[in-house]
Structure 1
């Protein structure tokens, strides 16, 4: 019987080898997080180890503290994985994170719904998940409204728009954005502009602004010039806007223990989390003196 058991164990191991499966371990404590493939590749060059089936694992011992210089100029997604890593490490509910790449959000939500993943490794805008509470829970914001700001850009030939400095002046203009960019669109409409144009592709925007069919659009605040197909787009100096939706972390609905651990960490480390995004330069504090046109204030409405 012992010999038979050994044969069966060997057969099972061979099946796992040829199918790419890895045997489960009774003491394996790993949180399964869904990440875009490019994030997984980035982490493979840092601390993740391949574990089969296109998955990789990070030990929580490799977590960077949220004030670590290694976060400088890192991507938002990298910072968010470190938030996850620190939350898991601090709570002690697991000693590693398994990264599961996914081809698209529909597939990711399906994996979450089936219990094959514990959460999204990266944040999502809250509007994307507010109606999915049957399959997930979401935390309080890791990036609050007002923290991520964008610049206002117009074509180089639009001197009239480049001279606008107030919200009232902006209200007389026509904004333009891509229709499927829901948060950009929501933010644009919140400005109560004369008109908002929606187009199907980003590539159409510069030409429409240059030709006078629209006046400005949003792009990254921390740059002065965008070159789009030979059309130079310049930042309107002195104005900025805050995207009007927070970003949250996502946990599978039945994993109460994990949700409690992550939410507790976020609540206890709100400032440290924001400081980590500042360190990475995802949140910039270079333009604190510029009025935020998404906020109502006497300064913004002075004419």
Structure 2
């Protein structure tokens, strides 16, 4: 073999080796670039929202300014808007790029089913509903056990009557609620009112109290100054000085049909912890009336085990 032929073959081998190395490098870079793209890809999240609150949340979704999601200013009660705001902020704080799109739902039960069956992705719910469903995962708590408070709501003229009898004697009063509102119903049964009637709708609850067919119900404290709950012109007021707590925690339920559901839960948990630490979640809950600073020192009629009820602030005879 001539030196010239040997040199030519050596050069060819060298070039071939360089080509192979370059190909491997380019493949690695392509894979690396693909991983970066996947890491920064925006995930679409479908959030079911009750029809009664859908327009407000949709308007916020389409608003380019962050004010409706900031939870930094007073706004009327809208539980769906609160959870929409917390969900968006928690995902962002957890380092996940998402687009939260609201989809209409007639009620909470249907929303729960939509998430379970994969027709929606995430919603907020009580721990017992999430734990009972094998098709969903549960986030860290948004609302810790016992943090959700409700008032004893009556007609305005009943407020005067309440000054003349110990309010702790709710067993002298008749109550109305909706039986499928599991937590409310359990709390009312524990209070042992004179009677407990199930209504079909929230409108019917207000109508029955307005017609003196029931004395009181449990309602969230409104974020208005007087904490009035007004439904179709029927105004109900909380009896001052007393409240109840709900013995459950609230979380996000995440559909297992959602790709990378476990990673999304991990991001949510990181974000929720951060939003508890910086006060964002508390501010959201306070602005909506779910947590109401005006009733912070009111006596709890059904304190949980280990929970100390504040001293009663209303007079009793």
Q: Larger Cα Rg: Structure 1 or Structure 2?
A: 2
Superposed CA deviations along residues 218-256 of structure 1, whole A, max 9, x for unmatched, are: 234344555677876443222222234332111123611
Q: Secondary structure at the match of 1:171?
A: helix
From 40, 43, 60, the equivalent of 2:60 is: 43
| 1:293–1:44 distance in 2 versus 1, CA, 3 Å | same
Cα offset, 1:188, TM superposition: 1.2
Q: Which has the higher helix share?
A: 2
For residues 103 and 148 of structure 2, what CA distance do their matches in structure 1 show? 26
Stretch deviating more after TM superposition (207-216 or 73-82): 207-216
Are 2:300 and 2:310, in contact at CA under 8 Å, matched by a contact in 1?
A: no
1:124-163 matched pairs, under 5 angstroms: 124-132=125-133, 134-158=134-158, 159-161=160-162, 163=164
Q: CA deviation at 1:187?
A: 2.1
Cα 1:189–1:255 shift into 2, 3 Å: same
**Aligned residue number for residue 292 of structure 2:** 284
**Structure 1 SS opposite 2:293:** coil
Residue 103 of structure 1: aligned partner = 105
Partner of 1:266: 272
Shift of 1:180: 3.2
Q: Partner residue of 2:302?
A: 294
CA distance in 2, matches of 1:69, 1:129: 26
Q: What's the TM-score, normalizing by structure 2?
A: 0.65
Q: Is the 8 A contact 1:72 1:281 kept in 2?
A: no
Counterparts in 2 of 1:223-262, with a 5 A limit? 223=226, 225=228, 233-253=236-256, 255-262=261-268
**CA separation in 2, counterparts of 1:130 and 1:107?**
17
Q: What secondary structure, in the 3-state scheme, does the structure 1 residue paired with 2:295 have?
A: coil
1:286 counterpart SS class: helix
User: What secondary structure does 1:163 align onto?
Assistant: coil
Partner in structure 2 of residue 192 of structure 1: 192
- Give unpaired runs (5+ residues) of structure 1: 1-24, 48-61
Instruction: Calculate the aligned-residue CA RMSD, in Å.
Output: 3.7
- Cα distance in 2 for residues equivalent to 1:92 and 1:224: 37
Distance of aligned partners of 1:232 and 1:260 in 2 relative to their CA distance in 1, 3 Å threshold = closer
Structure 2: give runs of 5+ residues left out of the alignment.
1-36
Please state how far the C-alpha of 1:210 moved relative to its aligned partner: 6.2
Looking at structure 1, the residues matched to 79 and 233 of structure 2 have their Cα atoms a distance apart, in angstroms, of: 29
- Name which of structure 1's ranges 263-272 and 219-228 shifts more when overlaid on structure 2: 219-228
Q: Distance in 1 between matches of 2:89 and 2:180?
A: 34
Deviation at 1:262? 0.9
1:34-60 C-alpha deviation (Å, 9 max, x unpaired): 23242552224413xxxxxxxxxxxxx
Structure 1 291/113 Cα, relative in aligned 2: closer, same or farther at 3 Å? closer
Q: Give yes or no for contact 1:174–1:214 (8 Å, CA) kept in 2.
A: yes
